[in-house]
Amino acid sequence: MYQRQVPVASRLSEVRYEIRGELAKRALELETQGRSIIKLNIGNPGLFEFEAPAHLREAIARHLPNSDPYCHQQGLAAAREAIAMRELARGAPNATPNATFVGNGVSELIDIALRGLLNPGEEVLVPSPDYPLWTAAVILNGGRAVHYPCAPENGFLPDPEELESRITPRTRAIVVINPNNPTGAVYPKELLAAIADIATRHRLVLMADEIYDGITYDDASFHPIAALAPETVCVTFSGLSKVHRACGWRVGWMSLSGPLKRAQDYLHALDLLSALRLCANVTAQWAIEPALHGPDTISELTRAGGRLFEARQAVIEGVAASQFMSLVAPAGALYAFPGVDTTLLPGFDDHRFALELLETEDVLLVPGSSFNVPYRTHFRLTLLPRPAQIEEVFVRLERALERASRSAHRHVA
Q: Are strands 335-336 and 379-382 parallel, antiparallel or unpaired?
A: antiparallel
Nearest C-alpha neighbor of 268 from the set 105, 74, 85, 108: 74
Which of 15-19, 55-59, 199-203 is the least confident region?
Answer: 15-19
**What pLDDT does 16 receive?**
72
Question: At 319, is the secondary structure helix, strand, or coil?
Answer: helix
The answer to which of 10-24, 50-64, 131-145, 386-400 has the lowest mean pLDDT is: 10-24
> Which segment of 2-16, 175-189, 320-334, 339-353 scores lowest on mean pLDDT?
2-16
Least-confidence region, from 197-211, 235-249, 354-368, 396-410: 396-410
Q: pLDDT at position 409, please?
A: 66
In the predicted model, is pLDDT for residue 406 greater than 90?
Answer: no
CA distance 377 to 1: 47
Set out the domains of the chain in order of their start, with CATH numbers: 10-51+300-412 (3.90.1150.10), 54-293 (3.40.640.10)
Local confidence band at 229 (pLDDT 50, 70, 90 cut-offs): very high
End-to-end distance of the chain based on CA atoms, in angstroms? 52
DSSP code for 260? G
pTM value? 0.94
Residue 411: burial class (beta carbons within 10 Å; 0-12, 13-18, 19+): exposed
Residue 12, pLDDT score: 78
**pLDDT grade for 119, boundaries at 50, 70 and 90:** very high
> What mean pLDDT is predicted for residues 295-313?
97
What pLDDT is recorded for position 8? 80
Question: Pick the residue with more confidence: 351 or 409?
Answer: 351
According to the model, what pLDDT value does residue 21 have? 80
DSSP 8-class letter at 119: P
Q: Which of 81, 143, 134, 90 is nearest to 111 (CA)?
A: 134
Give the gyration radius of the chain's Cα atoms.
Answer: 22
Longest dimension (CA), the chain: 71
Predicted confidence band at 370 (pLDDT cuts at 50, 70, 90)?
very high
pLDDT tens-place string over residues 235-254: 999 999 999 999 999 999 99
Q: Tens digits of per-residue pLDDT, 4-47?
A: 888 888 887 777 777 778 898 999 999 999 999 999 998 999 99
CB atoms within 10 A of CB 166: 14
pLDDT band per the 50, 70, 90 thresholds, residue 350 = very high
